Structures are given as structure tokens and as C-alpha cells.
Amino acid sequence: MHPELRERLPIVILMVIVISATFYDWTVGLSSWVAVSSEITSAWDQALAGNFSSEVLRTLWSVIGANLLHADGHHLLGNMLLFWIFGAVVLEIVGWRWLVAIALATGVGAVACQIAMAPQGSMVGASGIVMGFEGAYLGLAVKRPRGNTQVWPIATPVSPSQLAAVGVLGVAMDFMGVTGPDVTNIAYGAHIGGFVTGILMSLLRRG
């Protein structure tokens, strides 16, 4: 195994899970994992009322499951590229346990924000987690200065300012998408929710 892959094994495992779930969805179908805002809201209300039936729990699972699915190859490839880059730098700073915690929390935060912004919409994709990693890195970099990071296959080390700029630019474009007049199938709310949750997670970690 390439030394970089061995060092980033937790990221590799997470990516394999996402890619496997996506391909399973494309070949067999995992429609119940799609996060449908109205269905999740209804299931949440039922859970608060004490209804924990398999149907309710299956619907609530989509808050996490939707982050593992992708609409097409371009969607998957783009997310996995950024997942690898920002997941690697976050892993380097906080370790695998916090990495997994950030992935789960930002995935949920992404879906929750998307539901709030689009109560009648639906979503799939790991973009919220990717933006969560970007937000977490930004928060961690602000708390303490970080050195340059080498991420294979990028030839030269990447500076913290460059990585932070990518995250800030990404979330700025999402805010523009939310306020813009054009209707698209991009889940801007999920991106913003993941980013903000990532920053909050970075604040919870000491050091």
C-alpha cells in the first residue's frame, strides 16, 4: 500500500463506504436512503410522540444514509476528491475518532439545514460532509497556526491560507446560490449546514 494511503487509512475506509453505498444504489437501489424533507419532518414528529416503528427509524436513518449516495459519476468524483483532500488535513490535526465524529455530525447538520431551507425538497451526496471538513479545518486553523500540508497526489505542500480560502470561497458561493434567483438541483442548504457544523465541531475540540 502507498505510504500516503496507509497514513490516511481512515479516510480511505470512509471513502470506500461512500463509494460502495453509491454503487449499490445505482445497481440495486437505496431509495429509502434519500433524504426527503417532508418525510423526515413527519418521522421526527412521530418519534417525538413516542412512535419508534421500523418505518419511522428507517426514514430517520436517511439523515445519515443520504450522505452516502450520489446522483451520478461527476457528483461522486467531485465529492470524493475534496473528501480526500480536506479529510486528510483534518485527520492529520484531530485523529480518526474526531474525524468520524465530524463526518457524522456534519452529515446530520447538512441534512437538517437543507430541510429547513427546502421543506419540500430532497437530497443525496457527501457534499455536506466535505463542507463540514472544510469548516472544521477553518476553525482549527484559526484556533492555532498550522504548517503546510502534503496531500498526495498534489506535488507541493498546500498552505493553510490556500486551504482556508477554498473553504471560504465554497461557502460564499453557496450563500450566493441560496439568495440567487436561479432554481438548481444543488443542495446549497446542505453545504452551508455542513460548513457551519464543521466550525462548531472544531470549537468543541480543545487544542
Assign domain 3-204 one CATH number from 3.30.565.10, 3.40.50.720, 3.10.350.10, 1.20.1540.10.
1.20.1540.10
What pLDDT, on the 0 to 100 scale, is given for residue 143?
Answer: 78
- 166 by Cβ neighbours in 10 Å (0-12 / 13-18 / 19+) ranks as middle
**Arithmetic mean of pLDDT, 161-174:** 70
Kindly report the pTM of this predicted structure: 0.88
Helix (H) or strand (E) holding 80: helix 73-94
Residue 115's pLDDT band, with cuts at 50, 70 and 90, is very high
Beta pairing, strands 122-123 & 35-36? antiparallel
pLDDT higher than threshold 90 for residue 38: yes
What pLDDT, on the 0 to 100 scale, is given for residue 178?
Answer: 56
Q: For residue range 116-162, what is the model confidence (pLDDT) as tens digits?
A: 998 988 999 999 999 999 999 888 888 777 666 766 666 566 676 77
In sequence order, the 6+-apart residues with CB closer than 8 A to the CB of 106 are: 128, 129, 131, 132, 133, 135, 136, 193, 194, 197, 198, 201
Parse the chain into domains and list their residue ranges.
3-204
Integer Cα distance of 142 and 8 in angstroms: 23
**Arithmetic mean of pLDDT, 73-94:** 91
What pLDDT, on the 0 to 100 scale, is given for residue 6?
Answer: 74
